[in-house]
Structure 1
């Protein structure tokens, strides 16, 4: 049995799409079709029921999938144990991080990690939280770092850092919040134009959940603009277009420069945790090493808001 053909089968069974499988494997779609055909011929079994709309496992395919799952778990475990025999930890580590974590939390930590483990080749890609879970499911990344409050029962989740979201406005004369206003009541959030992250971002999910938990209705917010990048939102708020709710980690420089200011909400603190998300059975030795490193890093730094 050809392992490459078996991998194509395994991914196709998960995603039920030849085009998606080809994309994940970086192959042409006809190549994937040919690999599946060769696998079926070698096993003398039909593995998929094909229709114009879907691809489903046959009973024979279900049996093969069960053992393929065990095979690839063993392959990962074998690689991990062989790597552990080496004097130096090496290999590739692909990380996906949500915007706040990827831009304001991880870069410095990755720099420190690189000093201790120079033989681990790292790649960091920034997505929103929902996109990270999609890439994790496609095995495009080894570790995901998200801000979402959602639970993902198919994955292991580890809270590694506490964060606080704060209502923020610009300090220019065009700011919608008068300079003498130092705090706001919860219901006053609905009186100011607000600039938000796009649906699907962890920050937005946390904000909406906190509002609901405090008897407030997120749909009543006067959202005048949705932007995908934190820097764009900060620039819009600095220019006086509206307020924002953002991680304090993301506005340290602007607070120091005086171009932005926090406005506490009376009686409410928007606390959350940042999470590492991964599949324990698939995590490589470089992934395990980084996960342990980031836990110890923030434990030692006592980096908590």
Structure 2
């Protein structure tokens, strides 16, 4: 399926107008119309029908627009996740520490860290120094 054509269709469905979609996307009306015709042919569905000087969605068009809205919302979530992840806002930190730091120092540090990076998961293992070294060495 041509996702570019789906996006064009979605903008038309959202604005209710090929003209407004054309203005928003900086694409000529004939180019948009040609893409939509090709997209309808690809799907073997009629998505739009003329109504006076404008257009209206067919029943199939309403359903495709609803599904497209969900798809583009997920796309936006993926883009936001990638941005956040790249900035260190997501992930998993594993930490091994001896008893004293694990119970008296690290909790305060982690509380501060979690305020800024609430989606970063943390795992703390309390162990002796050789256990901490082993955990680091073998990624446990």
The CA deviation string for residues 126-180 of structure 1, in whole angstroms up to 9 with x for no partner, is xxxxxxxxxxxxxxxxxxxxxxxxxxxxxxxxxxxxxxxxxxxxxxxxxxxxxxx
Within-5 A mapping of 1:252-263: none
The answer on 1:62 being equivalent to 2:71 is no
CA distance in 1, matches of 2:73, 2:66: 11
The answer on 1:14 being equivalent to 2:17 is no
Q: 1:75 — aligned with what?
A: 75
For the residue of structure 1 that corresponds to 2:78, the secondary structure is helix
The CA deviation string for residues 159-204 of structure 1, in whole angstroms up to 9 with x for no partner, is xxxxxxxxxxxxxxxxxxxxxxxxxxxxxxxxxxxxxxxxxxxxxx
Within-5 A mapping of 1:261-272: none
For the residue of structure 1 that corresponds to 2:45, the secondary structure is coil
CA distance in 1, matches of 2:75, 2:14: 18
Within-5 A mapping of 1:230-269: none
Q: Which has the higher contact order (CA 8 A, sep 6+)?
A: 1
Larger radius of gyration: 2
CA distance in 2, matches of 1:13, 1:35: 14
CA distance in 1, matches of 2:31, 2:58: 21
Normalising by structure 1, report the TM-score.
Answer: 0.28
RMSD: 1.5
1:18, distance to aligned residue in structure 2 (A):
1.2
Q: 2:2 — aligned with what?
A: 2
Structure with the largest fraction of strand:
1
CA distance in 2, matches of 1:59, 1:87: 43
CA distance in 2, matches of 1:75, 1:87: 19
Structure with the largest fraction of helix:
2
Normalising by structure 2, report the TM-score.
Answer: 0.60
Q: How many residue pairs get matched?
A: 89
CA distance in 1, matches of 2:18, 2:88: 39
For the residue of structure 2 that corresponds to 1:46, the secondary structure is coil
1:51, distance to aligned residue in structure 2 (A):
3.0
1:2, distance to aligned residue in structure 2 (A):
1.1
1:42, distance to aligned residue in structure 2 (A):
0.6
Within-5 A mapping of 1:1-305: 1-87=1-87
CA distance in 2, matches of 1:87, 1:17: 38
1:74, distance to aligned residue in structure 2 (A):
0.3
Q: Any unmatched runs of 5+ in structure 2?
A: 90-140
Q: 2:132 — aligned with what?
A: none
1:88, distance to aligned residue in structure 2 (A):
7.2
